[in-house]
């Protein structure tokens, strides 16, 4: 949670080295090949618990939807919505795993990049992994794009630069 409390905006990179990206239709969320303005997410802290909201450049929120990818598949789509807070579907609990994080939705599923052949290529879902070795596929690198002014790390940078 400490990464998110110091960051004003971030980029998230999957194990496939692709960026969590909001599509211009303001509904879809994909994995983009390269960093773009649509891959920057504004961090909003949830006051009453250790959770965050991620807002896209379109003003929409990363949302754990109830829309299945395909009939009979447990994975649900991660989408953008204009749901106002305090909708629990737009809140994600960050769970740190070394230098990376997993994001858990309100229903206990994890934000997960998918790969492979269509319709799986470059989509983002939320679900629970069924295979024991798929846990690393839930991990995301968080790149801070902009820090909050006056954050501890910014103060330390200024001290080091002064010396």
Q: pTM for the whole thing?
A: 0.87
- Which helix (H) or strand (E) segment holds residue 2: the answer is helix 2-6
What's the confidence (pLDDT) of residue 150? 67
Q: Where are the domains of the chain?
A: 2-162
Using one digit for the tens of pLDDT, what is the confidence trace for 46-94? 988 999 999 999 999 999 999 998 888 889 999 999 988 889 999 999 9
Other Cβ atoms closer than 10 A to 63: 25
Query: Strands 19-22, 29-32: parallel, antiparallel or unpaired by DSSP?
Result: antiparallel
What's the confidence (pLDDT) of residue 132? 65
Per-residue pLDDT band for 163 (boundaries 50, 70, 90) equals very low
Give 147: exposed, middle or buried? Use CB within 10 Å, 0-12, 13-18, 19+. middle
Range 2-162: architecture per CATH: Trefoil (2.80)
Using one digit for the tens of pLDDT, what is the confidence trace for 9-60? 999 999 999 999 999 999 999 999 999 999 999 999 998 899 999 999 999 9
Per-residue pLDDT band for 113 (boundaries 50, 70, 90) equals very high
Query: Which residue, among 51, 47, 55, 147, has the nearest Cα to 158 in the 3D structure?
Result: 147
- For residues 66 and 59, give the distance between their C-alpha atoms in angstroms, rounded to a whole number: 21
């Amino acid at each position: 949670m400490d990464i998110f409390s110091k960051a004003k905006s971030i980029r998230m990179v999957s194990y496939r080295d692709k960026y969590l990206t909001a599509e211009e239709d303001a509904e879809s969320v994909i994995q983009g090949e390269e960093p773009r303005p649509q891959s920057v997410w504004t961090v909003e802290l949830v006051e009453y618990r250790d959770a965050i909201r991620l807002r896209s450049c379109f003003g929409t929120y990363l949302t754990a939807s109830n829309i299945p990818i395909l009939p009979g598949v447990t994975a649900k789509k991660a989408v953008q919505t204009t749901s106002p807070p305090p909708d629990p579907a737009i809140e994600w609990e960050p769970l740190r795993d070394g230098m990376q994080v997993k994001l858990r939705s309100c229903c206990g599923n994890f934000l997960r990049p998918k790969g492979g052949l269509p319709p799986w290529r470059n989509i983002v879902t939320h679900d629970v992994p069924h295979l024991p070795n798929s846990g690393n596929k839930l991990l995301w690198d968080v790149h801070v794009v902009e820090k909050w002014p006056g954050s501890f790390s910014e103060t330390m940078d200024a001290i080091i630069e002064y010396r």
